[in-house]
Chains A and B, each alone.
Chain A
Amino acid sequence: MKQTIGCIVRSILEKEEKKMTFRIKPAMLKIAAAAWLLGATAAMADTTLEFTQWWEPELPAGSLRKIMDDFEAANPGIKVTLVSGPYATTRDQISVGAATGTLSDVVGLDGAWVNNLNAQGALADMNPMMDASKFDKAQVADIIKVDGKAVMFPVASFVYPVFVNLDLAAQAGVTKLPSTRAEFLEAAKKMTHADKNQYGWVLPLSLQTPSGVQNDMMSWVWASGQSMMADGKPALEGKPVVDMLTFVKSLNDAGTISPGIATKTEQEKVEEFVNDRVGMMIDSLAHVNLIRKRNPKLNFDLIPVPVVEGYTGKRGLPYASWGIGISAASKHQEEAWKLVQYLMSEKVNAKLVSLANAFPGNVNAKPDFVTSDKAFAKAFEIFKTGYLANEFTGLPVAEDLMTQFDVQAQKMLAGEQSPEQAAAAAQKGWMAKF
């Protein structure tokens, strides 16, 4: 009896199980189909942009990712993958990516690279994108063009004013901070006391990083509204560059430049300023917080780079920038342009440059440190009254050009040649690269 009941129950259960299996199968199929459809739709809708840059490691942890998350939220269907690394690694990665056609959709750029990348056909022309989206060109501080193609926007700019050690200036009797080259020379002479290892100015011309040519030498030319170029070609034998070299030589001959020029790097320049060993230096505004951290007691002020006698026009302000561009090989240029627009928009740009302690790429953006910090406020004033100037941006093999100029400047400072000869030799070397 028990067995019979057991058999009946088993047979009912088996039947039910079969029914369930029969019922479950279509349901599972439906779910699988829905999942596939959902996945496929998501895959179709989601575009993943790759954004290679060196900014993330230089910003507070997670801050660039947060901006990307906000962008993703504002642009459903677009995801951004950040490919971050140190500056030099990023530079090499971008060069190789340009050569192999594997450049990321959006790339962080230094002005010194764009000419080479453009020659490789690696950068997209953003002119048609700007026109199609009716982008207001007046809102951006600069558009870097090569052969008429808009290839880069400076997103954040790090300007290079003159830092003055006010205590050293006061001790030397410099009451009025220099505004012209002659005043600068006078102030440098007064601040120099070689017996105390104290000098008026510092000039880093290490060949390891020849950026001193751009930041500490050519900045004198640009500050006076002059140029090292003429009709798109080098004009190093012209009066502006020769005068600048003569001026630098006069500073050196007067013994006002801290020794070790030929191997001094930018970091060492900052260290010497921090340690009260030099009275004045041209340096990036990005170093303000570093200087304060290294020597909280240091009393310093910022002034624009002095100009030639009688110049009253707008002053060119040397700068280095975090630029942005779009890969010509990108299959998602439309989405990439959206990201570029987003980073160049007033609010986002202000947020980004506030994090980076830089000046904005959008002229309407106002970084928050400008109101909260006296030194930055002063620098912002200098920035507002002048214009950004860096003629190395967009030049072919910019670093090589700097190295060549550097070698000739070193020869001049070593007494091996005159400023005119240095300018002529550098001109010859540069022309070969154009």
Chain B
Amino acid sequence: MTRQKRSHHKLKRAVAPYLYLSPSLVIISLLMLLPMVTVIGYSFQNSAVLRRDPSFAGLKHYQAIFNDPVFWASLWHTLYFTCMSVIFHMTIGMIFALMLNSDRINPMLRNILRVLYILPWLFTAVIIAVIWRLLLEPNGVVNSMLLQLGIIGSKVEWFSSPETALHAVTFANIWAGYPLFMVSLLAGLQGIPKDFYEAADIDGAKAYQKLIFITIPQLMPIIISISLLDFIWTMQVFPLIWITTGGGPIYSTEVLSTYTYKLAFSSYNLSQASASAVVILLISLGLTLFYIRYQKAR
């Protein structure tokens, strides 16, 4: 009887955590796991969603997208867009964070700059896209200024020319995303003990040496964490590119998200779109695992 009671108690203790977790597990399963599994299922079906009796397609849709040169172009554009965005987000974020953390700037001016620098973060992707479309249109403010300064000889079609379109959307995304780095790094900078700098001053260290040997190593955990998260988020950017260029001109700004969208809602090829979405999922998953490992290691 005592043994029975004890085993019952053990069972209760073992089950209790799962019972506490069950509401969130159910919600996650319904809202995340189920759609994910469904999309993976669609990628192995012919005429997914559009037919009531879709047949099994095997890896046909994966083969089709891997044989499509536009897919590879989209992958390359995605990598370029993402890498450039993350690098510049980090660089600009660091410069502005150092500026805002500096005692040499008047506190009043510092507060004004703090508000100004964070502004891009307050706009939605649609607003950012509209702003940059207006600024960079052939008759827009940017061309007018560059013409007056003599930097360009004729109007540049920033978003409409295959040569400049990818750089232009990347630039707009850099402008929109650096405040995340700036705010995170600023918080990190304020947490670095002053003793380190005082010791460095006694040793006669110069400003750049303090930056390289104290500031950056101290901020490294934040830099890596935010960079990884930014990489995952930027890779999935859709509205900014869709509204500014729609993936064009020709295919010069086609990224994986616009490529998948067109397959789904322009071609109504939901099976191939699912296969493309699974590829994005796998890339994101790889990065997420890397991020989790890094966090665990810390």
Contacts and interface: CB of A to CB of B under 8 A. Distances in A.
Interface in A368-383: none
B246 A207 contact: yes
Interface stretch (B13-21, B48-56, B195-203, B279-287): B48-56
Contacts of B160: 259-264
A409 B165 CA distance: 17
B250 interface: yes
A411 interface: yes
Nearest to A277: B139
Interface stretch (A153-161, A165-173, A399-407): A399-407
A92 B248 contact: no
B260 interface: no
Interface in B161-181: 161-162, 165
Given A95-B50, A101-B52, A120-B51, A397 B245 contact: no
A206 B137 contact: no
User: Quick one: which of A205, A208, A210 has the most chain B CB within 10 A?
Assistant: A208
A431 to B, nearest CB: 15
Contact of B52 (A100, A403, A414): A100
Q: Is the interface of B mostly helix, strand, loop or mixed?
A: loop
A376 B120 CA distance: 45
A120 B50 contact: yes
A414 B266 contact: no
B71 to A, nearest CB: 15
B51 A263 contact: no
A397 B269 CA distance: 9
Contacts of B52: 99-101
Interface residues of A, number: 33
Interface in B126-175: 133, 137-139, 155, 157, 159-162, 165
A260 B140 CA distance: 11
B268 interface: yes
Given A99-B51, A197-B139, A263 B246 contact: yes
A201 to B, nearest CB: 15
Interface residues of B, number: 30
B39 to A, nearest CB: 15
Contacts of B106: none
Contacts of A354: none
A96 interface: yes
A127 interface: no
Given A96-B49, A99-B50, A207 B245 contact: yes
B58 to A, nearest CB: 21
Nearest to B262: A403
Interface in A71-102: 92, 95-96, 98-101
B268 to A, nearest CB: 6
Nearest to A403: B266
Contact of A263 (B50, B244, B267, B268): B244
Nearest to A100: B52
A206 B245 CA distance: 7
Nearest to A262: B249
Contacts of A210: 266
Contacts of B157: 259-260, 262
A400 B266 CA distance: 5
A410 interface: yes
6 contacts: A99-B49, A100-B52, A197-B139, A206-B245, A208-B246, A209-B246
Question: 7 closest Cβ contacts across the A-B interface?
Answer: A208-B246, A262-B249, A207-B246, A259-B138, A207-B248, A262-B160, A400-B267
Given A99-B52, A263-B244, A263-B248, 14 more contacts: A95-B49, A116-B50, A207-B245, A207-B249, A208-B243, A259-B155, A260-B160, A263-B159, A264-B160, A400-B267, A406-B248, A407-B251, A414-B161, A416-B250
